[in-house]
């Protein structure tokens, strides 16, 4: 009876370890949380719609710091991080948090609004990183795994 239990446990173990779980296990250490402080200009409208009152209470523009977060992936051991342009748009300060909780200041190296991509550089070295694949090798119908940290969880 003990032999059957061991075989059953091995079957369960091997069935749980598949391409998807292995991909997640390999990539998870390189998934980063991108924490951004943006400076946005906010317009304060007059509480009155009458032009007379708008003369005395004109529109006011003021700057406000807004915190936001998104996801990125470390793509090199020297700290390059690939993320989306909309995550870092109007960024005043960017802090990258890795899965272990380590935080690193980063700077924008490049960005493209039309492709919604941005490249960041963290201060430091020896980071866990993901190796990007070759899109020419994809097979139609092949499984895809998307990892991220959009809400800082």
pLDDT band at 1 (very low <50, low <70, confident <90, very high): low
**Alpha helices (H) along 1-153:** 2-16, 19-27, 51-56, 85-88
Report which of residues 76 and 25 the model is more confident about.
76
61 within some domain? no
Domain of 109 in residue numbering reads as: 29-38+68-131
For residue 27, give the H/E element and its range.
Answer: helix 19-27
Instruction: State pTM to two decimals.
Output: 0.75
CATH number at residue 120: 2.40.10.10
DSSP state of 122: E
Model confidence at 10, pLDDT cuts 50, 70, 90, reads low
Q: Look at residue 146 and tell me if it is in a domain.
A: no
98 falls within a domain: yes
CA distances, 139 to each of 17, 20, 135 (Å) = 22, 16, 9
Query: What's the mean per-residue pLDDT of the chain?
Result: 85
Q: For residue range 93-149, what is the model confidence (pLDDT) as tens digits?
A: 999 999 999 999 999 999 999 999 999 999 989 999 998 888 899 899 988 888 887
CB atoms within 10 A of CB 122: 24
Q: Which residues, 6+ apart, have CB-to-CB distance to 32 below 8 Å?
A: 71, 72, 73, 74, 81, 83, 96, 97, 98, 149
Please give the backbone phi and psi of residue 144, each rounded to the nearest 5 degrees, phi first. Answer: -130, 140
Q: Are 133 and 108 in contact (CB under 8 A)?
A: no
Is 152 part of a structural domain of the chain?
no
Give me the long-range contacts of 20-23 (CB less than 8 A, separation at least 24): 20/143, 20/145, 23/145
Q: Give domain status of residue 137, yes or no.
A: no
Residue 91 in any domain: the answer is: yes
Q: Per the domain annotation, does 2 fall within a domain? A: no
- Is residue 143 a part of any domain in this protein? no
**How do strand 103-112 and strand 80-83 relate by DSSP bridges?**
unpaired
Are 74 and 32 a contacting pair, CB within 8 Å?
Answer: yes
- Which two tokens mark 52? 């007379």
Quote the number of domains for the chain: 1
Question: CA 1 from chain center: how many Å?
Answer: 49
């Amino acid at each position: 009876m003990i032999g059957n239990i061991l075989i059953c446990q091995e079957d369960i173990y091997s069935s749980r370890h598949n391409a998807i779980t292995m991909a997640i296990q390999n990539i998870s250490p390189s998934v980063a949380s991108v924490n951004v402080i943006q400076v946005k200009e906010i317009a304060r409208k007059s509480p009155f719609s009458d032009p007379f009152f708008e003369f005395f209470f004109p529109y006011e523009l003021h700057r406000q710091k807004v915190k936001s977060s998104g996801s990125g992936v470390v793509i090199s051991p020297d700290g390059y991080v690939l993320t989306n342009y909309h995550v870092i748009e109007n960024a005043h300060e960017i802090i990258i948090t890795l899965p272990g909780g380590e935080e690193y200041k980063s700077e924008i190296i490049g960005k493209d609004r039309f492709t919604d991509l941005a490249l960041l550089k963290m201060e430091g070295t020896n980071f866990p990183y993901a190796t990007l694949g070759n899109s020419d090798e994809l097979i139609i119908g092949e499984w895809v795994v998307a990892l991220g940290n959009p809400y800082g969880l």
